[in-house]
Amino acid sequence: MTTPYDRLKALGLTLPTPAVPVANYVPYVLANGFLYLSGQGPRRADGTMAAGKVGSEVTTEQAYLDAQLTGLNLLAVAHLALGDLARVRRVVKVLGMVNAVPEYAEHPKVINGCSDLFVNVLGDAGRHARSAVGMGSLPGRITVEIEAILQVDG
């Protein structure tokens, strides 16, 4: 049986070390069979964040990759919380926020970076309800911020 970790390896991806919160919050809350993941951004292995306005400074294609990276950071926090991504029964809900110019209209294409990653790593358990919205700004001018709610076993 293929595990989420096998799928990550097949994609050429490894889970990063989760970021330490920079404010008064926790990276996750596990309650009543649900894992609530705080918003994550496109933090690279060197600790820098992908930044810029989508639709002017950043292309949709680059922002898609930023959302994929953000999804990988969310999976890293889920692994920290659960010890095993195989405990994810279902990704229930994703909220994707895109730092975009007012006339930008391709928010769903950007957040597909995260959604596609979840399905590729978690299979059918990665399919989820979702909102993809534009924001006038995000902390540190990051291109995307994404949060998620997961239903988990045990």
DSSP labels, 70-119 = HHHHHHHHHHHHHS-GGGEEEEEEEEEEEEB-TT---HHHHHHHHHHHHH
Q: How far apart are CA 28 and CA 19, in angstroms?
A: 12
Does residue 21 sit within a domain? no
The verdict on residue 79 lying in a domain is yes
Residue 14: pLDDT above 90?
Answer: yes
Could you read off the pLDDT of 124-137 as tens digits, one per residue? Answer: 999 999 999 999 99
Q: Is residue 84 part of a domain?
A: yes
- Strand pairing partners for 147? 95
pLDDT band at 15 (very low <50, low <70, confident <90, very high): very high
**Residue 106 is assigned to a structural domain of this protein:** yes
pLDDT score recorded for residue 154 = 82
pLDDT at 1: 80
Residue 85 clears pLDDT 90, i.e. is over it: yes
pTM of model > 0.95: yes
Residues spanned by the domain of 136: 4-16+26-152
The CATH number covering residue 35 comes to 3.30.1330.40
- Looking at residue 22, what is its pLDDT? 83
Average pLDDT over residues 74-82: 98
Q: How confident is the model at residue 116 (pLDDT cuts 50, 70, 90)?
A: very high
Residue 102 domain-assigned (yes or no):
yes
Residue 68 φ then ψ, to 5°: -65, -45
The count of other CB atoms within 10 Å of the CB of residue 127 is 14
Examine the pLDDT at 9 and tell me if it is beyond 90.
yes
122 in any annotated domain? yes
Cα separation, 28 vs 16, in Å, equals: 16
The percent of residues in the chain predicted with pLDDT above 90, rounded, is 96
Judge whether 74 lies within some domain: yes
69 assigned to some structural domain: yes
> How many domains is the chain partitioned into structurally?
1
